Structure 1
Amino acid sequence: MNSMRKRERPALPDLTSAQSPQAAAKPRKLRVLVAGEFSAGKTSLINGLLGEKVLPSHVTATALPPIWLVHGRDRGQIWIDKEEVARPLCDLAQLNLEKARYCVIAHGAPILERIDIIDTPGSSDPNMPMESWQRMLRYADLVIWCTNATQAWRQSEKAVWDAMPQALLEQPMLVVTHGDRLPDERTRARLMRRVQREAGEVFPTIRLAALTDAQDVAQIGREIERLIGQIGQPSGETNETVAKFVRERDVIAFPKPRMPVKPRRLRSARLIKAEGAELPEVTDAEPLILDSPLPDYPPAEPASMPGPARALWEELTAGHAFTDAADVLAHVEHLLDRLDARAADEPEPAYATRRSTP
C-alpha cells in the first residue's frame, strides 16, 4: 500500500454523505473532474475530448473559475455566484471572478451525453485560491490528474494528491500530457518507467498523450469511459442548480429585448448634472431564478476560426505558461521555422529539438 494513503489527510469535502431518496431513485450521469497543476494541459485535453476548442486555453484564460460542462444545445451558459444563484453568462472574458463560484456550459459533444466534465483551475496557479477547485471535489465521481511530461509528477503534485478525499482514490487516472515535447521514444520510455515507479500504486491507469494528436486524445476518452463503467454508485453530491439548468433549458446565452429598442441620443454625465438631473443607478444583473420557466434566448454566435498562423501559434502554446523572454523567443523562432517549412513544402521541424531533455 502506498505510504501516501497511510498518512492522515487534511479535511476536505466529505464525498460519502448519504444521497437523498429522490437522488438515489433516479440515476444521474457520472462526473469527471479534470485537475492538475498550472499549465498541465487540462483545458487542451478537454477541448480535444469535446472535438473543438470550446474553452479558452491561452495563458490569460487561466484566471477562470471551474467550468462544469453538460450536454445541451447551442452552448447555453450560466455562472453561479457565492450564494448559489444562477445568472446568465454572455462572455467568459467578462466574468467577475470575485463573485463567481463556477460556470455551467452546455455543449453538444457526444461524450457529454454519457458524462459531465468539470474543468478546474491549476492547483499551483498563483492567481486562483486553492479552494476555487477544491470545492468542486464534492461533486466529482472520477478524477483525471494531468501532469506535464517535461516535469512529470512533481513533489507539489504528490502533496495535493495526498489530500484527496478517499472516495476519489479508487479509480483515478494520471495523464502525462505534452508527450510530443519529448525528443524520442527512448526518453518517453524512461519517463514512463519513472512515473510508473513513483505513482503506479496511486494511479491504476497511467497514460502518456500528445494533446495535438487526435488518436491519443481519443484513447484517453476510451479509458475514461472504461473507468466510469466500473463505478457503481456515484460518490459526488447532488447539485440542484446544475440539474435545473439541464432539465428546464439547455440554451441560456443572453436575454433578447422584450420589445424593439428605439435608438436614442446618449448624453454625458456632465450634461446630466448640469441640467440638475440625477445619474441613473447602475446595478448588477438580476438573478436568474431557475424555479420559473426561462425565456427563449437566442443561441450564442459561433466563434470565428483563427487563421493558419494564429492556429499554429495556439497549437504551439497550448497549456504552456511562459516563464521568461527566452522562452517566448524560442516559441516564436519555432513558429517561424514551421511557417517557413510549410511555405517551402518541407517537413516541419519538431519542437523537442529546441528543448533540453528531462
Structure 2
Amino acid sequence: MSTKNLGDLVNTARQAAKAYERPDLESRLAVVARTVADDRARVLVVGEFKAGKTELVNAILGGRALPTDAHKATTVPTVCVHGEQRSVTLVRAVEGGQEQQQISPTQLADHVTEKGNPDNAAGWSHAEASLPIEELQGLRLVDTPGAGGLASPASVSTMAEMPGSDGVLLVCDAGRELTAPELALVRTAAAVCPTVAVVLTRADLHPQWRRIAEIDRSHLDRAGDRLRAVPVLTTSSALALHGAENDEASLVTESGVVEVRRLLREDVVGGRHARRTRMAADEVLVVCEQLAARFRAERDALADPARAQRISDELERSTARVAALRDRAARWQQTLNDGTQDLVSDIEYDLRDRLRTVTTDAEAALDDTDPAKTWEQFAPWLHQQVSAAVSTNVVWAEERTRWLAERVATHFAEDGEGVLPPMTSPEGQPMSADPVGLLAAPDHEKFGFSQSMLIGMRGSYGGLLMIGMMTTLAGLALINPFSIGAGLLLGSKTLIDERKRALRRRQAEAKQAVRRHVDDVIFQAGKNSRDMLREVQRTLRDHFTSTAEQLERSLNATSQAAKAVEADGAKRTARLADVEAELERIESLAARARTVRESVGPARLVGA
C-alpha cells in the first residue's frame, strides 16, 4: 500500500472518531498520521577510516555526488536526501536550537572533509545534501566519518544514531577479513536496527575477494544466530561509477552495487513501509474496536430489552477494571517504576565498570611511558576508549528500554484482559550521547637544559666540598682530581634521581588528569542516561494511562448506550436500524485495516 493510501485509511479513521465525538481517539490517530507521512528510511554507512564509504555512497547514487580524496578523510556526517534541486545545508547545534548555513554544492569538500575542516574544527553536527537522484526516493543515506580512524571520537554519535536508524551498511575493504571491532560493530547494529549488511569494497583491487567474503561469512555465522542473517555483499565502486558515466549497465551490474540498491529498496525502504503499515493498521483496528463496542452494546440491548440491565452491569464491571489500571498500585505501574529504577542502577554500574577498565588500562600505559613525550598520542587513544565505552553503554541502554516497554505492555494487557482491544507496545526512546571532550594535558614541570645544569651543579657542589675537605688532610688542595671526580659522580646521580622523581610526578599528574576526566564523563553521561530513562518512564506512563482513559471513556459511552433503550417498539426498531448501519460502516473500515495489516505479514522483532 502506498503512503497516500495508508494516509487515507488513517484520515478516514480520524474522521470517524471526530464524527462519534471522540477527540481522544482523534488525537491518537493524529500522531499516527504524522508517522505515516514520514516515509524516508534512514541508513547509516559506517566503517573504518578510508574504507571507501563515500565512494560506495557515490556508486549507490550513480554519480560523484559527494567529494572523495585518496588522502583527505570525511570529518562531518553528510545526509543525502532527494530534492528537486541540488543544494547543501550545514547544520550546527547551538544553545536552544540549530544554526544552519547554505553553501554551494561545489564547496562541500571544504566543510565536510579534512581539506578545509580538519577534525571538524568548525563544529558542524552534519551536512544535508539535497540531490535530484531517483535512487534517493524514500531514503536518507548518511555518509559517516571513520569509526576507528582520524575521526574516531565521532563513533559515539554514530553508535547513538543506530537505534533510530532503519538500516546500517558496514563498509570494509575486500583485501582483509573482518576485525574484532568491526564484528562488535555489526553485533551492536544488529541488536537495534532492522536491517544490517556487511559491504566489501574495492573488489577490483583484490583478486582474493571471494575468499575474504567466505571468511567474513564464517565469522558472522560463528558470532551467533543474530548475525547469521546479516548478508555479505561485495562491490567495486570504481567499476560502478565508470559504468554509470559511460552508460554501460553491464559494468554497473558486475560491480555488485545493484545488489546493495536492491537491499536498500526492498529490505530497508520496504521494511520501514511494512512497519509503518502494520503500526497504522493496528491503531485503526484499536480505534474501530472502541467505536464499535458502544454500538454493539446498544444493538444487543435494543434487540432484547430484557438483557439491557445485565449488559450494563457487565460494562460497569469492565469499566471498574479499566479504571483500576490507572491506579498507582496497578501491576504495570509497579513494573514500570521498579524496572526504571533497576535500569538506572544497571546502566550506571555498566558505565562505571567500563570506564574503570579504561582507567586501569590508561594508568598501566602511563606507567610505561613519559606523559610529557607521549601525550599527543595518549590523549586521542584515551578519548577513543572512553567514547567506545560510552557508546556501547548507550546502545545497551536502548536494548534494555525496549525490553522494559514490552514487559510493561504485556502486564498492562494481562491486567486488562477481556476488556482491552489489541494494542502495540511503544518503542523505547532512542538514547543520545554527547561526545566527550578531549583529555586536557596536565601542567608538567619543565625540565630543560638550564634546569638540568643547576640540579647537577647543586649535587656536585656537595661532593666536591666533602671530598675536597677530606683530601686537604692529606696535603692536597681543595680542588683536586679526587674531589672533581666525586663532584661529577654525585652531580650525575642527583640529576638522574631528580629526573626519575620528575617522571613519577608527571605520571602521577597524568593519572590524576585521567581520573578527573573519567569522573567528568561519568557525571555527564550518567546525567544523560538518567534523563533519558526518566523520559522513557514518563512516555510509557503517559501512553498507557492515556490508553486506559480512552478505554474507560469507551466503556462509559457503551454503558450509557446500553441503558438508553427506548420502550416504544417503532422507535426501537428505527434506532436498531441506525445502529446496524453505523456498525456496518465501522466494520467496513476495520476490514480495510485488516486487509492492509495482512498484506505486510507478521512483525519481525529487531535483532531477532
Which TM-score applies when normalising by structure 1?
Answer: 0.54
Partner in structure 2 of residue 92 of structure 1: 108
Partner in structure 2 of residue 173 of structure 1: 197
Cα offset, 1:128, TM superposition: 4.5
Partner in structure 2 of residue 209 of structure 1: 235
Partner in structure 1 of residue 179 of structure 2: 154
1:67/1:102 contact within 8 Å kept: yes
The structure-2 alpha-carbon separation of the partners of 1:237 and 1:141, relative to structure 1 and needing over 3 Å to count, comes to farther
Q: Distance in 1 between matches of 2:61 and 2:70?
A: 20
Letter in 1 for 2:198: L
1:145/1:174 contact within 8 Å kept: yes
The structure-2 alpha-carbon separation of the partners of 1:145 and 1:109, relative to structure 1 and needing over 3 Å to count, comes to same
SS at match of 1:64: coil
Q: Distance in 2 between matches of 1:122 and 1:167?
A: 20
The yes-or-no answer on 1:223 pairing with 2:263 is yes
Q: Deviations over 1:183-214 (max 9, x none)?
A: 2xxx3332222111101451532111222232
Q: Distance in 1 between matches of 2:165 and 2:196?
A: 11
Match of residue 139, structure 2, among 108, 115, 122: 115
Letter in 2 for 1:198: H
2:186/2:196 contact within 8 Å kept: no
Q: Deviations over 1:239-267 (max 9, x none)?
A: xxxxxxxxxxxxxxxxxxxxxxxxxxxxx
2:88/2:108 contact within 8 Å kept: no
The yes-or-no answer on 1:29 pairing with 2:32 is no
Partner in structure 2 of residue 290 of structure 1: none
Partner in structure 2 of residue 199 of structure 1: 220
Q: Which structure 2 residues correspond to residues 1-358 of structure 1 after superposition, within 5 A?
A: 21=32, 23-83=34-94, 84-90=98-104, 91-95=107-111, 97-98=120-121, 99-129=123-153, 130-164=155-189, 166-168=191-193, 170-183=194-207, 187-200=208-221, 201=225, 202=227, 203-213=229-239, 214-215=252-253, 216-228=256-268, 229-231=270-272, 232-233=274-275
SS at match of 1:230: helix
Q: Distance in 2 between matches of 1:111 and 1:57?
A: 20
Cα offset, 1:64, TM superposition: 2.4
Cα offset, 1:74, TM superposition: 2.9
2:189/2:196 contact within 8 Å kept: no
Cα offset, 1:103, TM superposition: 0.5
Q: Deviations over 1:275-301 (max 9, x none)?
A: xxxxxxxxxxxxxxxxxxxxxxxxxxx
Q: Distance in 1 between matches of 2:130 and 2:59?
A: 16
Letter in 2 for 1:225: R
SS at match of 2:192: helix
Q: Deviations over 1:67-88 (max 9, x none)?
A: 0011113311111102232221
1:121/1:132 contact within 8 Å kept: no
Gaps of 5+ in 2: 1-29, 112-116, 240-251, 277-426, 431-608
Which TM-score applies when normalising by structure 2?
Answer: 0.33
RMSD between superposed Cα atoms in Å: 2.7
Gaps of 5+ in 1: 1-18, 239-358
Q: Distance in 2 between matches of 1:66 and 1:179?
A: 25
More helix per residue: 2
The structure-2 alpha-carbon separation of the partners of 1:193 and 1:236, relative to structure 1 and needing over 3 Å to count, comes to farther
Q: Distance in 1 between matches of 2:31 and 2:75?
A: 31
Q: Distance in 1 between matches of 2:192 and 2:160?
A: 15
Largest Rg, 1 or 2: 2
Q: Distance in 1 between matches of 2:45 and 2:72?
A: 16
Cα offset, 1:125, TM superposition: 1.8
Q: Distance in 2 between matches of 1:136 and 1:59?
A: 27
Letter in 2 for 1:87: Q
Q: Distance in 1 between matches of 2:72 and 2:157?
A: 15
Q: Distance in 2 between matches of 1:56 and 1:152?
A: 27
Cα offset, 1:167, TM superposition: 2.3
SS at match of 1:87: strand
The structure-2 alpha-carbon separation of the partners of 1:198 and 1:67, relative to structure 1 and needing over 3 Å to count, comes to same
Q: Distance in 2 between matches of 1:94 and 1:188?
A: 34
SS at match of 1:122: coil
Letter in 1 for 2:93: K
Q: Distance in 2 between matches of 1:41 and 1:160?
A: 17
Partner in structure 1 of residue 509 of structure 2: none
Cα offset, 1:132, TM superposition: 4.5
Letter in 2 for 1:89: I
SS at match of 1:59: coil
Cα offset, 1:154, TM superposition: 0.9
1:78/1:104 contact within 8 Å kept: yes
Letter in 1 for 2:103: L
Cα offset, 1:118, TM superposition: 0.7
